[in-house]
Amino acid sequence: MPSALVFFTELSAAPSKGQRELLTLVSGFENPAVAVANQVSDEAQQVLASYGVVKLFTASGDAPVFGQHEISVLDAAVQATAAKLVLLANDNFSRELGARLAVRRNGAIITDVIGISGDLVATKDELAGSYSVQARATNGTLFATLKPNSIEDAPAASSTALAVEELALENSNDAKVRIAAAEAKGASDRPALTEARVVVAGGRGVNGDFGPVEDLADALGAAVGASRAATDAGWISHDAQIGQTGATVAPQLYISAGISGAIQQKAGMQTSKFIIAINKDVDAPVFEIADLGIVGDLAKVLPQAAEEIRRRKA
């Protein structure tokens, strides 16, 4: 079994679902190691040990230079472990780190991975989920970014002893990208869109009012998504956008409300396990891929469903 390393920008004592999936995946390889570009609390170290991770590399740093500290940490950890497989999150920042380092070390990069076998064959979806592809590295270290909701979260049966090493970083000569300002985005109590088990999404048909979509989402403990028409109209933040130019989601359950299901939208959600669609237009293309289609007014159907869920849970 080859050795493997996971990289995180930061890791709290309550790792995200995607981070837990990465820890589960790495624990199946030889000498599972983790590198974090920030301080890792004792509680977070215990979480790592609970997944069978044996080695933690850290180096905290707070340079006002975008991405430089993170790539230095990743580079140093890859050198220190000689890992054959380096796993990263699937967000833009992490995949760019992996891609840059793959160039620097003449290795391989595969994004949007949903599984990796013991002999390092990666499985991923292509063409918006219409193909399943298997690929592998032909040279050097394999850098792979893992799509959330791909792997069953499974801590190890018993905790391991975790060795911690502070990395000594070399100065990098990367072209400087300065962080001139940082603005916090509104925090939400709902699960992250790409990691959520359930997503409720609204489109043009919500007519400016995401209230019924959000209400059903909260009854289900779901994330809220939107079509590009809805985000372009300014009804909801661009962060909620699902589709070709937004997030790609693959939850257990996707509820589509007032979205016609044009091809760009489908591209972002058609690998969901179950799809329920509500639309006024009987000819909406979304009905072609929905397990349950409801021709009706979302402003009536969604509140009724939310109320019924709360009634049954009570």
Partner 1 sequence: MSEESTTPLKIVVLVKHVPDVQFDRHIDSGTLRLDRAESVLSELDEYAVEAAVSIVEANGGFAAGHEVIAATMGGKGSGNSVKKALQMGASSGLHLNDDALAGSDTIATSKALAALVEHAGNVDLVITGMSSTDAETSVVPAQLAERLGFAQLTHALAVEFDAAQRELAIKRDHLDRTLTLKANLPAVLSVTDQANEPRYPNFKAIMAAKKKTVTELDLAAIGLDAAAVGALGSNTEVIAAEARPARQAGTVINDSGQAGIALVDFLAEQKLI
Site for partner 1 in 94-153 (CB under 8 A): 95-96, 98-100, 102-104, 106-112, 121, 125-140
Residue 176 found at the interface with partner 1 (CB under 8 A)? yes
* CA neighbor of 277 nearest in space, from 296, 304, 263, 264: 296
Name the minimum Å distance from CB 179 to partner 1: 6
DSSP readout, 221-261? TPEEEE-HHHHHTTSS-GGGBBSTTSB----SEEEEES---
Residue 157 found at the interface with partner 1 (CB under 8 A)? no
Measured from the CB atom, the residue of 162 and 226 that comes closer to partner 1 is 226
Contacting range for partner 1; rule: CB under 8 A; set: 26-34, 75-83, 153-161, 291-299: 291-299
Measured from the CB atom, the residue of 82 and 177 that comes closer to partner 1 is 177
Contacting range for partner 1; rule: CB under 8 A; set: 14-22, 73-81, 163-171, 306-314: 306-314
242 to 281: interface string for partner 1, x by CB under 8 A: --xx------xx-x-------xx--x--x---xxx-x---
Contacting range for partner 1; rule: CB under 8 A; set: 16-24, 79-87, 170-178, 199-207: 170-178
> Across the strands, what pairs with 202?
226, 257
24 to 63: interface string for partner 1, x by CB under 8 A: ----------------------------------------
Terminal-residue alpha carbon distance, the chain: 49
Site size with partner 1, rule: CB under 8 A: 91
Task: Name the token pair of 310.
Answer: 């709360």
Determine which residue in the list 166, 170, 281, 288 makes contact with partner 1, applying CB under 8 A. 288
Name the minimum Å distance from CB 220 to partner 1: 7
Task: Name the token pair of 97.
Answer: 């780190």
The DSSP output letter for 278 is E
Q: Is the dihedral of CA 9, 11, 17, 19 positive or negative?
A: positive
How many angstroms separate the Cα of 261 from the Cα of each of 93, 232, 256? 29, 16, 9
180 contacts: CB under 8 Å, gap ≥ 6: none
* CA neighbor of 82 nearest in space, from 4, 165, 169, 162: 4
**Which run of H or E residues covers position 8?**
strand 3-8
197 to 236: interface string for partner 1, x by CB under 8 A: -x---------------------x----------------
234 contacts: CB under 8 Å, gap ≥ 6: none
Residue 239 found at the interface with partner 1 (CB under 8 A)? yes
Residue 292 found at the interface with partner 1 (CB under 8 A)? yes
Name the minimum Å distance from CB 31 to partner 1: 23
Name the minimum Å distance from CB 44 to partner 1: 16
